[in-house]
A and B are shown apart, each in its own frame.
With several copies, the nearest count.
Chain A
Amino acid sequence: MNAISKPAFDVARIRADFPILAEKIRGKDLVFLDSAASAQKPRVVIDAMVHAMEHQYANVHRGLHWMSERTTEAYEDVRDSIARLLNAPDRSNIVITANSTASFNLVAQSYGRSVLKPGQAVLISQMEHHANLVPWQMLRDASGVELRIAPITDAGELDMAAYEALLADGKVGLVSVTHMSNVLGTYTPAERIIQIAHAHGARVMLDASQSVVHRRIDVQALDVDFLAFTGHKLYGPTGIGVLYAKRELLEAMPPVNGGGDMISSVSYERSTWAQVPHKFEAGTPAILEGIGLNAAIKYVEAIGFDAIAAHEATLTEHALARLSAIEGLTIIGHPQDRGGVISFTLKGAHAHDVATLLDRQGIAVRAGHHCAEPLMHRLGLESTARASFGLYTTMAEIDALADTLDQVRVFFK
């Protein structure tokens, strides 16, 4: 660790941007280590949403009056920001959804039911969040598309040989895998995954729900076909998610939801659809949420992904060292390329009990199956405790976690 070679990152200044971090939990300082579930919101996001509600709000897209025109501009600007964030070729590659889960369901229900044919397969991995599993399972059960599961190694990485073997028969039409595991913290080798899939004629969808928070993603460099993320983990509001897709795929896909805003013309006999991406966005959009997410993206970009990644690496390294020194504590997964999400178990104490004890000291961690039951099964576990880091996480917070965990161990001994 060489502090000088890393971009400046002033965590104290960043913490001041997040009002909630000043809260006390039962008299103790809040130590929020649950950002992978949902991140806290910086002042600029709150202010952007408040400004809209107080000064500039109306329904968008169809209004000819000042408030509607200005709100449309403010809302639609998020599409440009997302395109910039992902280095998408164009704003029309960006479909606004309700969350990551909705993005997966959109692709499963539209692309899955029209472009994929019975006899073809969807390939996911053993470490998917339910959001990238259940929609494909429902597709399989409804339309006869096969569902294949690429195994992971004991270290918690995608087994690349097995992955490639599962593509060998050419039946896989779509690979849909996580870019960063919400349980193990593993970053998957997206570039190789995509190259191999494309070589076997399969399209690739990436679950960037976790990764987009920590690393710069370049959809054109990756040549990824679909990518999903969710606003609330990227320091933005709830109620908004994103689907990136290549233009020709969006053009070929039928809409899933019908209603206002997604049509070109409507008659009882036949309706025609608006152009991409609007044909996938039925009804009044998440206007305030788009405005909030836009502020979040600009906030993260201003800090810069180099600085964010370096901060995350420093925190993770320290946390791994501190936690693995605790007697009876097992860190789950040892991937080479990993980020600030660490799952662990503590001998003699169930993860829920660990979480409750930590909570008493103001430390928020998650415990359970983390919406990844089949992964738990693969790991031979029922549940883990999970600490996850955000922009605002400090070394001192990690020390507090480790010190308190040592006491938890004693409590349950």
Chain B
Amino acid sequence: MFEDLRDLYQQVILDRGRKPHHGRRLEVFDAEARGDNPMCGDRVQVFVRRDGEAVAEVGFEARGCAISIASADLMAEAVIGKTADEIAELTTAFTGMARTGNGGAPQLATLRPLAGVHEYPSRIKCATLPWMALKAAMAGKGNASSE
């Protein structure tokens, strides 16, 4: 019945939405921030541990839909080893992909399963919310809102 939704709900999204690999508070972290989507109540808290210039580990606690949890989980993997500047660039690329569906850039490879959200205007924020929280954490701010 939902064959045309497989674009949005690819298997990796269903899997990660159900059982995220990084869905936990880090025991030791250097930065953290919360992201809220006031319109639907989704919330994600992101924890970042650094190793010198680079990010060593990311964990998160979230309440939300499959899209937002899978997005947080794939993000946690994608940013490991990256510097703040590299992460800022990736965030821009990801946000662009979520809005337009255009996920051609090589660095988006593992995040590409989320490109399908661009067809669902109200779901784009689900995918970008963890990235907003990560951005806030990297900038030393406590909170981000998806509005």
A and B touch in the complex (CB under 8 A): yes
A residues with a Cβ closer than 8 A to B are 61-64, 68-69, 72-73, 263-265, 274-275, 278, 348-353, 356-357, 360-361, 367-369, 373, 376, 382-383, 404, 407-408, 411-412
Encode B102-144 as 1/0 by CB contact (under 8 A) with A. Answer: 0000000000000000001111001000000000000000000
**Which chain A residue has the least Cβ–Cβ distance from B38?**
A264
How near does chain B come to A357, taking the closest CB pair, in angstroms?
6
Assembly CA distance A126 to B2 (angstroms)? 37
B28 near A: Cβ within 8 Å? no
Q: Which of A275, A369, A407, A412 contacts B1 (CB 8 A)?
A: A407
**Which chain B residue has the least Cβ–Cβ distance from A361?**
B1
B72 near A: Cβ within 8 Å? no
Assembly CA distance A298 to B107 (angstroms)? 41
Q: Which of B5, B17, B122, B145 contacts A63 (CB 8 A)?
A: B122
How near does chain B come to A95, taking the closest CB pair, in angstroms?
15
A407 x B38 contact (CB < 8 A):
no
Using A350-B64, A350-B66, A368-B40 as known contacts, say yes or no to A275 and B147 having CB atoms under 8 A apart: yes
Using A63-B122, A407-B1, A407-B2 as known contacts, say yes or no to A369 and B40 having CB atoms under 8 A apart: yes
Q: Give the total of B residues in contact with A, Cβ under 8 Å.
A: 28
How near does chain A come to B35, taking the closest CB pair, in angstroms?
11
A353 x B122 contact (CB < 8 A):
no
How near does chain B come to A369, taking the closest CB pair, in angstroms?
4
B18 x A348 contact (CB < 8 A):
yes
Return chain A residues, CB-CB under 8 Å to B147: 274-275, 278
How near does chain B come to A82, taking the closest CB pair, in angstroms?
19
B64 x A68 contact (CB < 8 A):
no
How near does chain A come to B9, taking the closest CB pair, in angstroms?
7
Assembly CA distance A73 to B120 (angstroms)? 12
User: Of residues 21 to 55 in B, which have CB atoms within 8 Å of A's CB atoms?
Assistant: 36, 38-43
B121 x A356 contact (CB < 8 A):
no
B5 x A62 contact (CB < 8 A):
no
Q: Which of B9, B17, B41 contacts A368 (CB 8 A)?
A: B41
How near does chain A come to B17, taking the closest CB pair, in angstroms?
8
Assembly CA distance A369 to B64 (angstroms)? 12
Return chain A residues, CB-CB under 8 Å to B64: 350, 352, 382
B residues with a Cβ closer than 8 A to A are 1-2, 4-5, 8-9, 14, 17-18, 36, 38-43, 63-67, 120-123, 126, 145, 147
Given A69-B121, A278-B147, A412-B14, list of 9 further CB < 8 A pairs?
Answer: A69-B122, A264-B38, A265-B38, A349-B66, A350-B66, A353-B17, A382-B63, A383-B40, A407-B2
A350 x B121 contact (CB < 8 A):
no
Return chain A residues, CB-CB under 8 Å to B42: 352, 382
Q: Which of B4, B5, B65, B122 contacts A350 (CB 8 A)?
A: B65
Return chain A residues, CB-CB under 8 Å to B2: 357, 360, 407-408, 411
A373 x B5 contact (CB < 8 A):
no
**Which chain B residue has the least Cβ–Cβ distance from A278?**
B147
Return chain A residues, CB-CB under 8 Å to B66: 349-350, 353, 412
Q: Which of B1, B36, B41, B120 contacts A356 (CB 8 A)?
A: B120
Using A274-B147, A353-B67, A360-B2 as known contacts, say yes or no to A382 and B122 having CB atoms under 8 A apart: no
A360 x B5 contact (CB < 8 A):
yes
Using A72-B121, A357-B2, A411-B9 as known contacts, say yes or no to A62 and B39 having CB atoms under 8 A apart: yes
Q: Which of B5, B17, B145 contacts A357 (CB 8 A)?
A: B5
Assembly CA distance A357 to B65 (angstroms)? 12
How near does chain A come to B73, taking the closest CB pair, in angstroms?
14
Return chain A residues, CB-CB under 8 Å to B17: 350, 353
Return chain A residues, CB-CB under 8 Å to B4: 360
Assembly CA distance A376 to B42 (angstroms)? 13
**Which chain A residue has the least Cβ–Cβ distance from B1?**
A407
How near does chain B come to A162, taking the closest CB pair, in angstroms?
26
**Which chain B residue has the least Cβ–Cβ distance from A64?**
B122
Assembly CA distance A274 to B38 (angstroms)? 7
Return chain B residues, CB-CB under 8 Å to A62: 39-40
Assembly CA distance A64 to B67 (angstroms)? 13
Assembly CA distance A373 to B1 (angstroms)? 33
Return chain B residues, CB-CB under 8 Å to A383: 40-41
Return chain A residues, CB-CB under 8 Å to B8: 356
List 21 A–B pairs whose Cβ atoms lie within 8 Å, in order of A's numbering: A62-B39, A69-B120, A69-B121, A73-B121, A264-B36, A264-B38, A274-B38, A274-B145, A274-B147, A275-B145, A278-B147, A350-B66, A353-B65, A368-B39, A369-B40, A382-B42, A382-B64, A404-B1, A407-B1, A411-B5, A411-B9
